[in-house]
Structure 1
């Protein structure tokens, strides 16, 4: 008899299906003001100035949590994600963090340069 997957396993599978195949495909903006569509930013702010650290962090948290594959590729920037990851990883869910870190070794603390 097969065991039933846990809630955490189901959530992780949901996030894993959304991932890009590699980080260089994340070609989103690195500067300026970005407006997120309502399917991502359905509550609160919808415009984010990526040159403001707190707004940039909020933007990344929203896109990582709510974004589908095409959203991740369109709205996230590889270099920003890697540079922000040491702090960002503490602000997102364990499931999102586990999926991203197990897929992309560039995000694990062992492989990161001093941020």
Structure 2
């Protein structure tokens, strides 16, 4: 099975990829998220706007239904750069940092 899906109690599972190297989403331009990822509000993200790219990453990390969502919309280097400043539910942060120690180290260095 590609990736890892961990239950969040009453909420939907946290989806984590097998490898950060498979995250090869866009790094420029405008991204329109599908309805299953962004079901209310503005689903269009201009990646030139630092605030919107942060919102995009938070949304995809929280709402991904399968590893393919992560592979399609997230970029490895951008995720690592944004990780220390991104607010995420503890269950999401723990699942990702449990799988990828480099994310945990990035956040610790930034602290």
Range class of TM-score, shorter chain: 0.7 to 0.9
1:103 partnered with 2:102: no
Separation of aligned partners in 2, 1:64 and 1:92: 8
User: Normalising to structure 2: TM-score of the pair?
Assistant: 0.83
Matches of residues 11-90 of structure 1 in structure 2 within 5 Å?
11=8, 14-15=13-14, 18-68=15-65, 69-88=67-86
Equivalent pair of 2:61/2:70 in contact (CA under 8 Å): yes
Structure 1 residue runs of 4+, over 2 Å off?
A: 109-114
* CA apart distance, 1:113: 6.4
More strand by share: 2
Bigger Rg, structure 1 or 2: 1
1:10 counterpart residue number: 7
RMSD value, Cα: 2.1
Size of the aligned set, in residue pairs, is 102
- For 1:2-55, what per-residue CA distance to the aligned partner results, in whole angstroms no more than 9, with x for missing partners? xxxxxxx8307921xx22111010010111110000111101011001111100
Equivalent pair of 1:105/1:111 in contact (CA under 8 Å): no
